[in-house]
Amino acid sequence: MIRKFVEKFHLDPPKTLVLGFALIIMIGTILLTLPASTVNGMGLPWLDALFTATSATCVTGLVVVDTGSTFTLFGQLVILSLIQIGGLGFMTFATFFALIMRKKISLRERLILQESLNQMTIEGVVRLAKMILIFTALAELLGGILLSIRFAFDFPLGTAIYYGFFHSISNFNNAGFDLMGDFASLTRYVDDPVVTLVVCALIIIGGIGFMVVSEVYDYRHTHRLSLHTKVVLSTTALLVIVGTVLIFFLEYTNPKTLQPLSMMGKILGSLYQSVTPRTAGSNTLSIGDMHQSTLFLIILLMFIGASPGSTGGGIKTTTFATLVGAVIAQIKGKEDVIFFRQRILPHMIYKSLTVTMVGLFIVMAITMALSITEPGAPFEMILFEVTSAFATTGLSMGLTPELSSVGKFLIALTMFAGRVGPLTIAFALAQRKQKEYYRYPKGKITIG
């Protein structure tokens, strides 16, 4: 249906992506309003259904109702399907079905797939889509098996298997939806090494980008990694390590988070809370009980987010690394930004700056709007919730279920903008630049 609509109206890739995500959200909203979706047999109110469908499709994880106790099996499977489609991209699935039916992938579809996967060229995008589907299936299968074995000690076997695969799919796609009830997420497993390490691995693998995974897998044959992969891996490792250490020390004496735990529990809790802001959304410590310094750190980690071509959101690790590199180069008085003995082109720095500034503008604008519509909410809760929505993270201090109707709509809009906005901006910046036949004279202004 989308293909025919695109061909009829000659939509370009960015518009097609926006249309595709909007259509999936609309279908999900309708399904969640059905009586079969909720335990009470009444279905969700349309606004709550829209919010939940948007959160699932945009792999965010913010919820206005508890997933485990509100939805029936049908409703939960609808949410899980939206997470899977939203995480991998509807074009990846469209390509999969086209290949099964042995249909030729047209040039237009390859361009849309290129945009969906955040690739620079259309070369190899179909092969990459195949690899993504296979790798995703294997990662979610392995994660589901390991979590099912662990949950079997706490739940009946059938429930344990279902919970294991639900949380594996949810966290690999960086969605953060859970079935534990009472908005508790995975807090009961804060000091459990199996749950913590398995889920952290799923979040990181799903968040570093499929192109990086492909290069790492092929490294045994090629013995080389691209600059992109090196920057992603090094930045991700640095953010995880620094985040873990800072959270450990900031929350060490907090009686509501780390203090009651053993040393191993403190380390596992700090690690999980360092990894999950990378747009995953599940948590093992109570977010609302953390110190303000820790919350501010998490806001920064959420805004940075995951890596390009992944299931996560945020401005992306490569954008953050490029801006930091530009600042360091400027301080040192150097003209070029150098990573691993390679020079970053100036237009990449401008692109990074543009994506960051647009992200900041969205967060500031929605935060200001919610400060008006939610006058009783503390400012830090509003800023935290908006950043979480924009970065499609899903972590919450507890404000989301208490939002007004206007507030819910604004957060849903922010999630949608955070999911499709950066893709559209990146594509627009990658278009052919018009040749300039003249240039204005140089001018000087005072900076700083």
Is residue 161 situated within a structural domain? Answer: yes
Give CA torsion, residues 401, 407, 412, 415, to 10 deg: -90
- Cα separation, 120 vs 228, in Å, equals 12
Grouping H, G, I as helix, E, B as strand and the rest as coil, residue 12 is: coil
Mean pLDDT of 186-191: 91
Is residue 348 situated within a structural domain? Answer: yes
Is residue 66 situated within a structural domain? Answer: yes
Amino acid at 132: I
- With 0-12 CB in 10 A as exposed, 13-18 as middle and 19+ as buried, what is 125? buried
Distance of CA 215 to the CA centre of its chain: 21
Is residue 444 situated within a structural domain? Answer: no
* Secondary structure letter of residue 441 according to DSSP: P
Task: List all residues 6 or more positions away from 131 whose beta carbon is below 8 Å from its beta carbon.
Answer: 210, 214
Share of the chain above pLDDT 70, in %: 82
230, 153 Cβ separation under 8 angstroms: no
- Quote the pLDDT of residue 108: 54
Residue for token digits 């954008």?
A: 319
Is residue 435 situated within a structural domain? Answer: no
Q: What is the DSSP string of 98-162?
A: HHHTT----HHHHHHHHHHTT-SSSTTHHHHHHHHHHHHHHHHHHHHHHHHHHHTTTS-HHHHHH
Size of the chain, expressed as the number of residues it contains: 448
Is residue 440 situated within a structural domain? Answer: no
Mean pLDDT of 394-403: 88
Is residue 400 situated within a structural domain? Answer: yes
- Quote the pLDDT of residue 54: 92
Residue 432 has pLDDT above 70, yes or no: no
Bigger pLDDT: 11 or 380? 380
- Cα separation, 349 vs 336, in Å, equals 10
The string of pLDDT tens digits covering residues 130-139 is: 777 888 889 9
- Quote the pLDDT of residue 384: 95
Q: Using 50, 70 and 90 to split pLDDT, how confident is the model at 365?
A: very high
- Cα separation, 99 vs 56, in Å, equals 26
- Quote the pLDDT of residue 150: 95
Tokens of 277: 């802001």
- Quote the pLDDT of residue 13: 59
Tokens of 95: 């390509």
Mean pLDDT of 198-207: 91
CB-CB neighbours of 97 under 10 Å: 9
- Cα separation, 423 vs 90, in Å, equals 14
Residue 293 has pLDDT above 90, yes or no: yes
Q: Using 50, 70 and 90 to split pLDDT, how confident is the model at 60?
A: confident
- Quote the pLDDT of residue 257: 92
Is residue 443 situated within a structural domain? Answer: no
Average pLDDT for the chain = 84
Give phi and psi for 362, each to the nearest 5: -60, -45
- Quote the pLDDT of residue 448: 66
Closest to 171 in 3D by CA, of 322, 436, 393, 429:
393
Mean pLDDT of 142-166: 94
Amino acid at 254: N
Total domains present in the chain: 1
Mean pLDDT of 329-348: 87
Q: Residue 75 sits in which domain range?
A: 2-430
Tokens of 222: 């090629």
71 forms bridges with which residues in the sheet? 38
Closest to 191 in 3D by CA, of 116, 313, 70, 273:
273
Closest to 310 in 3D by CA, of 387, 233, 413, 248:
233
